Structure 1
Amino acid sequence: MKPFRRLILTSSLVLSALFTTSINAQTVYTNVNGYTLTSPAGQDAQLAQFSAFAVRNGKFIAMGDAELAQQFPDFTRVDLQGKTVFPGLIDAHGHVLGLGLSLLQVDLRTSESASDAVNAVNDYAQQHRDLQWIKGRGWNQENWPSKRFPTAKQLDEFVADRPVYLTRVDGHAAWLNSKALEVAGITSETVSPDGGQIIKDAQGNPTGVLIDNAVNLVEPLIPEPTASEKKQAFQLAFNHLLSLGITSVHDAGVPAVDLSIYKGMQHQGEMPMRVYPMIAATEPQLPQLLAEGPYRTDDDKLFIRSVKIYADGALGSRGAALLKPYSDDHDNHGLLVTSVDNIRKLYQLIIPFGFQINTHAIGDRANRIALDAFAEFYQTLGGRNLRNRIEHAQIVNVDDLQRFKDLNIIASMQPTHATSDKNMAEDRLGKARMKGAYAWHTLLEQGTIIAAGSDFPVELANPFYGLHAAVTRQDRQNMPAGGWHAEESMSLEQALRAFTIDAAYAGWQESTLGSIEPGKWADFIVLDRDPFAIDAKDIWRVDVEQTFVAGEQVYSNE
């Protein structure tokens, strides 16, 4: 770790600016154990400590040592009693509406078997007899003793009168009961769509599990939440994220109707945190939205300048597109959710408008397709400086890792994916392909920026789980001993950088967010312990006591 440098950043310029503005919302915080990465983003960022900082009109104006308070005698003084302060954390890849709706559905994340999940669904169905559809999320057959996909028959035993639709933890598969299959008209004669699979038994009958694009046979039939229900879900998600110290999120794949809800909430002052939504590439209005140009509010609560493209599926459901077959399914190369031709057409459409392209690519084939497209269109259309990203970048062929740097691609990665996938990734890939899998250290060493996130609700949103996974390469039970492929771990400084200033850079916001520096929005969090002073195995135990956005307290655990 680089040595800390002390911040003494008050200056005549700062003080002059202070006294030429209106006098309100001015506070100086003392007795602080503060940490921040300082500008610029990337390898040149420096980790610094400070013991006091001042906020005025929602922005940081100074930070430094204990004597700082003397320079602001008219400010309200708050003694933080030695508490640790971080910049507000940024989750660079989550699904806000999905999180909010999941808080309103049956949660199957902790289910230990198919029967355990079925019991939870039955309990939920009994408690919600008014619902037309029973929906839930979070099942993962890899955590069950059988490790087999569940079936419709298991659900039918308890819930047969209403359709049941349960999304897998990664969002790339769904488990249905027979009623849902019937409503969708899925039979033994139904052909799997391009980029999707209807799992069938030996007799050719659908088992009740749909992979990737096959879910499109059902999802349009499920009643859409109303605008009011979506607003409720957004507020639930905001409150949850703020309680975890997340002050800004990059929302990965948002249709036009939800962008409108965001705009309305921001206009009504109903957004307590910052959102950087990525327009869904499947949005029919995409050309119109691009033509309208970037959308950024004065308070930086909402900024739209990117498009999310799905290249492939997920590893756990064997939907990640691989160059060679799955090691545990020799006839399966995974799925391309968007064809190569359509990916190229989207790049051709988006780049001339100056929007960032964020491509979901988990498998090594999907990553290569994305990298090839960037290389091709940089030559013909430009766009190299648009801070384009590959979302997840989980399995990358070793020959392609350096291309992230060469093509100026940001790797938007989620540390807890590695610790969640460790029990099945090598089964799916074999040992050889693990050399380019979850390769954080390799990417960082070559100078590639990593923007960290969680992919909630696929993973739990708690960023301290992510910081812990990044540093230890272990789950929260400290397994495996020594860390899983520990050579690819991050330092705590690198991990904090990925969740703060580098994530801000990945959303074109490093000049206003991501660090505690003069001129930036006063987004910060107060912690119950110092992550730099505790054993790395306990980082996930850190709790957030207070969260501030633009200098306003938006969460307290008291």
Structure 2
Amino acid sequence: MSDRTGSQADHRTVLLRRGEVHSPADPFATAMLVERGHVSWVGSEGAADSFVAGADEVVDLDGALVTPAFTDAHVHTTATGLALTGLDLSGAASLAEALALVRAHSAARPDERILLGHGWDAERWPERRAPTRGELDDAAGGRPLYLPRVDVHSAVVTTALLDLVPGVTSLAGYRPEGPLTDSAHHVVREAAHGAVSGRQRTEAQRAARDRAASLGIGTLHECAGPEISDEEDFTALLALARDEAGPRIHGYWAEQVGDEKGARRVRELGAAGAAGDLFVDGSLGSHTAALHEPYADAAHTGAAHLDAAAVSAHVAACTEAGLQAGFHAIGDAAISTVVAGVRAAAERLGLARIRAARHRVEHAEMLTPETVAAFAELGLTASVQPAFDAVWGGDEGMYARRLGVERARTLNPYAALLRAGVPLALGSDSPVTPLDPWGTVRAAAFHRTPGHRISVRAAFTAHTRGGWRAVGRDDAGTLVPGAPADYALWRTEELVVQAPDDRVARWSTDPRSGTPGLPDLTPGRPLPVCLRTVVAGRTVFVSPNE
């Protein structure tokens, strides 16, 4: 397993006191002691006095909230950093604004061989269309430009970039004017990312880790693979995380494994598993998610990349090698394929072995009661992104346009998953949606479809402890003695406890509940502000306003 912390744990003894410590060990804790990179004690302010003399540092929390650091269970680190440091179109309100940003970026980067951008979403523009190749050629000044859609499953490009990829016009997914998908997109993306220099890559990876740390994120699950990035990018990120302070990196490499030799190669890369974005299908926004019935706004059912036999072979090989397997599956047909394949592997190897391996499915959006039950039966972890619903859900959103309102209302059924006992791990899929842990918790608790909402506490647990469980660790993601000292300090308003008979609307501040409080995440209220982030006892971020 890849467990990169930036360096060895801090061996100092640190006492935090006069705050609110979110700990199941003591729901009224106001202090915490950290020794040798682990939590050694949580308790009351009065008892903290006995630890002062032996502490190397005493932190006066001044009422701040201490929580476990978040784990973002699905991130593309280099792409996130490139969006942070380069051309980001996620805020463009129209096609015209997007083209203006392309012009400005091209003018500001005269020496870059290939221009890279990210984040356009025509569904949110009044024009409701992607830029044409001619419009991009003009905006980029005739230079090579790669501009993926926000979901990164299709892209618009300039003529100059196509000229660098011989044979692309004969590949599946090529269109003379519209966005590229499928094989055409993959080869163009490979050419574009191949132009990123080592310096650019390192700067991007540092920028992404710095942003994550500033948001109280202590661990990132990097979802890499041969169709996402390349081996050099993946191993460079793991090396950076090993050598420099910052969030931990658990790396997944999405390549099919057929035997022990393939599994050994995945291990040699430093990967936690052959999982992440091993594509069974694409995305709803790009009309490439695999559906049982046609799209409401297109006369086809998307694209399927793996069948049940391929899924079964991969899961069986990974299980026998002691590796986690996993898949990207969004559409109902893709999820059915995963379930059928994993079930076939269980019939071959035994259900207990499959469940013990904790294989995972990324996104898992278009579930049915039958596939939810199958996830529970097979022990599959659902690695999900609640911000997808916040951005594209609702009766007027992109999902409704792609699927129709009734089918769209079935998407992302978090409450049903938890009721069935399916482990949840929350993430962002950054740069598809931004790193934003409290916003992610809020999106799960205030899902646009009320029946799919889960409690703030359940969402918080899925975004902290759930991420650790998804990599096979049950001893972390919570502030109890013996756990890794991965925590964050927050400035927030009064803490509240949700009443058990109403997951969202009703709140209690009564300390007699004996339940640790959390911030009130009701939409419209301010989100907590991160003051400090600590990984393995080592501070990786301090706010200038702390």
Structure 2-normalised TM-score?
0.86
- Provide the residue aligned with 1:273 in structure 2: 247
Choose from 473, 477, 480 the match for 1:517.
480
RMSD after superposition: 2.5
Residue correspondence of structure 1 range 7-406 to structure 2 within 5 A: 25-36=12-23, 48-72=27-51, 73-75=53-55, 76-185=57-166, 190-193=169-172, 197-199=173-175, 206-222=176-192, 223-254=194-225, 255-267=230-242, 269-281=243-255, 288=261, 290-291=263-264, 304-308=272-276, 309-329=278-298, 331-382=299-350, 383-406=354-377
Residues 293, 337 of structure 1: CA spacing in aligned structure 2 closer, same or farther, 3 A cutoff? Answer: closer
Query: 1 or 2, which has the higher strand percentage?
Result: 1
Amino acid at match of 1:326: Y
User: Structure 1 residue 420 and structure 2 residue 391: aligned?
Assistant: yes
User: Structure 1 residue 440 and structure 2 residue 426: aligned?
Assistant: no
Superposed CA offset, 1:345-392 (max 9, x none): 423432211111121101001111001111000110342211111100
Residues 218, 258 of structure 1: CA spacing in aligned structure 2 closer, same or farther, 3 A cutoff? Answer: closer
My pick for the range that moved more, 155-164 or 499-508, is 155-164
Contact kept? 1:184, 1:221, Cα under 8 Å: yes
Amino acid at match of 1:219: R
Contact kept? 1:398, 1:436, Cα under 8 Å: no
Contact kept? 1:465, 1:540, Cα under 8 Å: no
Amino acid at match of 1:119: A
Residues 49, 394 of structure 1: CA spacing in aligned structure 2 closer, same or farther, 3 A cutoff? Answer: farther
Taking only the aligned residue pairs, the percentage that are identical comes to 26
Distance in 2 between residues matched to 1:372 and 1:332, nearest whole Å: 22
Deviation at 1:421, TM superposition (A): 1.3
User: Structure 1 residue 461 and structure 2 residue 432: aligned?
Assistant: no
Contact kept? 1:227, 1:261, Cα under 8 Å: no
Distance in 1 between residues matched to 2:191 and 2:266, nearest whole Å: 33
Deviation at 1:306, TM superposition (A): 4.2
Choose from 543, 546, 554 the match for 2:529.
543
- Provide the residue aligned with 2:7 in structure 1: none
Amino acid at match of 1:397: T
Q: Can you give the 5+ residue segments of structure 1 that lack an aligned partner in the other structure?
A: 1-22, 39-46, 200-205, 297-301, 474-483
The alignment partner of 1:464 has SS state of helix
The alignment partner of 1:74 has SS state of coil
Contact kept? 2:245, 2:540, Cα under 8 Å: no
Amino acid at match of 1:376: A
The alignment partner of 1:359 has SS state of strand
Distance in 2 between residues matched to 1:528 and 1:85, nearest whole Å: 9
Amino acid at match of 2:232: V
Deviation at 1:114, TM superposition (A): 1.6
Deviation at 1:289, TM superposition (A): 5.9
Contact kept? 2:15, 2:58, Cα under 8 Å: yes
The alignment partner of 1:179 has SS state of helix
Distance in 1 between residues matched to 2:220 and 2:27, nearest whole Å: 24
Residues 198, 247 of structure 1: CA spacing in aligned structure 2 closer, same or farther, 3 A cutoff? Answer: same
Distance in 1 between residues matched to 2:478 and 2:45, nearest whole Å: 20
Amino acid at match of 1:198: Y
Contact kept? 1:322, 1:366, Cα under 8 Å: yes
Contact kept? 1:106, 1:120, Cα under 8 Å: yes
The alignment partner of 1:537 has SS state of coil
Contact kept? 2:372, 2:420, Cα under 8 Å: no
Residues 168, 287 of structure 1: CA spacing in aligned structure 2 closer, same or farther, 3 A cutoff? Answer: farther
Residues 393, 49 of structure 1: CA spacing in aligned structure 2 closer, same or farther, 3 A cutoff? Answer: farther
Deviation at 1:173, TM superposition (A): 0.7
Residues 443, 150 of structure 1: CA spacing in aligned structure 2 closer, same or farther, 3 A cutoff? Answer: same
Superposed CA offset, 1:273-331 (max 9, x none): 21111112169x996462268589xxxxx8724423111101111111101100111x2
Distance in 1 between residues matched to 2:170 and 2:309, nearest whole Å: 22
User: Structure 1 residue 451 and structure 2 residue 414: aligned?
Assistant: no
Choose from 441, 450, 453 the match for 1:489.
453
Deviation at 1:271, TM superposition (A): 4.3
Distance in 2 between residues matched to 1:533 and 1:129, nearest whole Å: 46
Deviation at 1:408, TM superposition (A): 1.1
Amino acid at match of 1:361: A
Deviation at 1:244, TM superposition (A): 0.8
Contact kept? 1:397, 1:433, Cα under 8 Å: no
Contact kept? 2:297, 2:401, Cα under 8 Å: yes
Distance in 1 between residues matched to 2:127 and 2:136, nearest whole Å: 17
Deviation at 1:70, TM superposition (A): 2.8
The alignment partner of 1:507 has SS state of coil
Contact kept? 1:27, 1:55, Cα under 8 Å: yes
Contact kept? 2:174, 2:181, Cα under 8 Å: yes
Structure 1-normalised TM-score?
0.84
Superposed CA offset, 1:89-117 (max 9, x none): 00011111211222232111011122211
- Provide the residue aligned with 1:15 in structure 2: none
Deviation at 1:24, TM superposition (A): 5.5
Superposed CA offset, 1:192-231 (max 9, x none): 42xxx223xxxxxx10410233212323333342334322
Q: Can you give the 5+ residue segments of structure 2 that lack an aligned partner in the other structure?
A: 1-9, 496-517
Distance in 1 between residues matched to 2:150 and 2:45, nearest whole Å: 47
Contact kept? 2:17, 2:30, Cα under 8 Å: yes
Deviation at 1:541, TM superposition (A): 2.5
Count the aligned residue pairs. Answer: 498
